[in-house]
Amino acid sequence: MTDLPEFCGDDLSLAQCATDALLQELEVFPKPGLVSPIDSGAHTDMDYALMCRSAGALLNPLARISAAGRAGGGFLSALVPLGIAAERDMLAATDGVNTHRGAIFVLGMLVAALARTQALGIPRSPPSVREVLLQTWGDELEAHMSRDSDSHGGIVRQSTGAGGARAEAASGFPAIFEIGLPAYRSAIASGLDSAAARIQTLFVLMEAAEDTNVIFRGGPEAANFVRRSAAGFLAAGGCSGDGWLARAEELHREFIRRNLSPGGCADLLAGTLLADDSEAQKQLDRRVLVVRTK
């Protein structure tokens, strides 16, 4: 790709919100099998520093995706090529390690929808963002579901029929808007701090969402184990229950033993944090204020 779209300050601010969401997911511990500042979870090829470097490399690529979304560019003609370019930038920053391929797709579509909603002059509430996403790219996303892919999700889809991120996007990300976002806001309203609320939301997503990363690593039985583990944690009170930290840490160790990492759910958690319009708008307003007062 030689002609990359120009982006404006609003696009850069949206991209910053997206990369911040990646870092907010990354920084909390314990998350079963996932990378954090404490350890690398079930991963032998990546760590916290590498994941942070990867997130930083996605700032300008996501800003370009925002610009294309703002203009209403087509999914296949505009967004997919920019997503591929973002993957190249990620791999260059990580020496070839696939740290955020799934996140590029999830956050890229959300950033595009947020930018398009803003361009249309529609308040950026979660329902309106979801509606704009479906109206603008829903048909193309639906058609894209049947295409072959060499991603982990694509391999699982071909072998098991599991839809993964593509099915999520084609349906307007129900795991984010109908599950993750209500869970996160409920956790905050219950008095949990932001870090615990993120962990709570991850467990809710692990119980409910189809994670093709887990299926790729361990097959359908691994997916069932993840759901059962999350359900048991939540039934014991989740992050509001006594001794929750020790239970979460034990699950983390068990996931490492089983070589399981719910990376798809981690991507959905980052998408949930981005879709939380109050937080995204707060960050955007703060950045605008900083720019205007310099």
Give the model's pLDDT for residue 277: 63
At 60, give phi and psi (nearest 5°): -65, -40
How far is CA 256 from its chain centroid?
Answer: 21
Question: Quick one: tokens of 136?
Answer: 């603008």
Give the model's pLDDT for residue 213: 87
Tokens 């990646």 found at: 22
What radius of gyration, in Å, describes the C-alpha atoms of the chain?
18
58 touches 19 (CB < 8 A): yes
Reported as a single tens digit per residue, the pLDDT across 122-139 is 998 999 999 999 999 999
For CA atoms 129, 134, 135, 137, the dihedral sign is positive
Could you tell me which of 104, 116, 109 has the C-alpha nearest to residue 72? Answer: 116
Ranges of each domain in the chain: 9-148+161-293
**Residue 71 burial (CB count, 10 A):** 13
Show the low-confidence residues of the chain (pLDDT under 70): 1-2, 146-164, 277-294
206 touches 214 (CB < 8 A): no
**Residue 257 burial (CB count, 10 A):** 10
Separation CA 177–CA 272 (nearest Å):
7
Reported as a single tens digit per residue, the pLDDT across 238-292 is 999 999 999 999 999 999 999 999 999 999 999 999 999 644 444 444 443 333 3
Q: 177-192: buried (b, 16+ CB within 10 Å) or exposed (e) per residue?
A: bebbbebbbebbeeeb
Q: At 33, is the secondary structure helix, strand, or coil?
A: coil
Alpha helices per DSSP H over the chain: 9-26, 48-57, 59-70, 80-93, 101-119, 126-144, 152-160, 164-170, 174, 181-189, 194-208, 212-235, 244-257, 263-275, 277-293
Give the model's pLDDT for residue 4: 79
66 touches 11 (CB < 8 A): yes
Give the model's pLDDT for residue 146: 64
Give the model's pLDDT for residue 284: 46
Give the model's pLDDT for residue 166: 85
Tokens 């740290």 found at: 99
103 touches 22 (CB < 8 A): yes
